Structure 1
Amino acid sequence: MIVLPPSEGKAAQGSGPPVGQLSFPALDGSRKRVMTALVRASKRRDAIGVLGLTPGLAGELARNLALKTASTLPAADLYTGVLYDNLGLRTLAGEAWSRAEESVLIFSGLWGMVRITDPIPPYRLSMGVNLPPLGGLGTFWRPRISKVLDGVPGLVVDLRSATYASAWQPGERSVTVRVFRDGKVVSHMAKATRGEIARALLQEGTTPTSPEELAKVLDALGYRVEVAPPARAGRPWTLDVHVS
């Protein structure tokens, strides 16, 4: 399983019908609650502040208000940005695309999580928002997503940012990826590298069952990596990728 954050950048519009059935129907009731709360929040005079937007992003509120009737497009096409540019989902072919359909999950403040083929409309809502009356979305989604994913076996390659990692914490069966350059953690380059790593794993085709196996696969693919066990029980493994 490869878990990703969404991107703040999104395609302007789709051409599909309004949002309907998505993957993980156990989350549908919670999705409706978040959508209703988001539409209400987007109507408020202080909506920009509530949703953590800058004044220049006020136009995003119109997207939120149109959620129930807006045209949709697959999540693979909706999310843009550095990570997704380097992942290049739509340039995957054959078995690599099939693996992405099965193994990639995109976390979302609005939808909880979706698969890459799920048709959804453009929206603006970070997992870090405290959304009235639901509260912090990471806290809201965590028990609901845990019920769905905790029983799914296998290694979790966690490429999410901290904000989205708050919505599900798979613990010691997961490995988080940090990116270093000249001994320092880098953020912008980290997004690109995480996208590249996800793509490489999907194209390579093996399914690592442990963090050590993952490190060996990436080493064979030309990455300089170091893997470390959890700092304490219940925490993820850490994979450090060194780039030049």
Structure 2
Amino acid sequence: MKVQIVLRPDNTYNPNAISVAAPPEHAGTDIERHLGYMYDRNLMSVGGPLRGLVSVSDRPVCCHAFIGLAAPFEEQLEDEADELDSLRVQDANGTVYWTAPPRLILPWWEDLQAVVVAYSRQRRPDRILPFVGHWASWNPGAREELVRHTEEKSFAISLRADGNSLAACYEDIRLAELMPSSRDFFDHTMQRVRELGGTATAHAEEHQGALKVFVESHAPLMSPDNSTMT
């Protein structure tokens, strides 16, 4: 079935939450058509591209999903009839089923991010798309050295222009080298860092053994004298 991807900044648990809703052709608002939330573990890889796609699109963003069905116990239907109204469906033969959470059919995160970046470049060529980060492998020994300075999984870093690459640094520790990729906005980021004299601040987090650098989803890039980039 088709479902809609809905950003839910009103979620008190996670302002970056993404909701799965019935498509717009059904009656009601996005919230009234709510089916469930994406798991946090999935948001780590595909949440950024999906949030970016929704933010740059002027139409509802939809995809397809599997909805699993399971027959409930009769005593559950009797004891919890009112509560089950929003969780059950009935077929033509009158059999009632539980609806399992939707399972989205999405591309692999690298392919999804590349498609979203290409779409954004076409629609907004001068923009660094929010939420889409730069992925890079750790430099040898950098992860171990970082642990001796901080145990935080999310932390501020500096970006330093070095030839055709950007060095991601935590204090004096050179964590990783960011290189051009079709999955991010490296060219725009490099240009802005150079405009600031070769050094700017950003934010990073560790995920699945790699470093993910966010230029645009936290604070804007800042020059060493704390003036915001425009």
More helix by share: 1
Find the structure with the greater CA-based Rg.
2
Fold conserved (TM > 0.5)? Answer: no
Provide the TM-score with structure 2 as the length reference: 0.26
Q: Which of structures 1 and 2 has the larger relative contact order (alpha carbons within 8 angstroms, sep 6+)?
A: 1
More strand by share: 2
Provide the TM-score with structure 1 as the length reference: 0.25
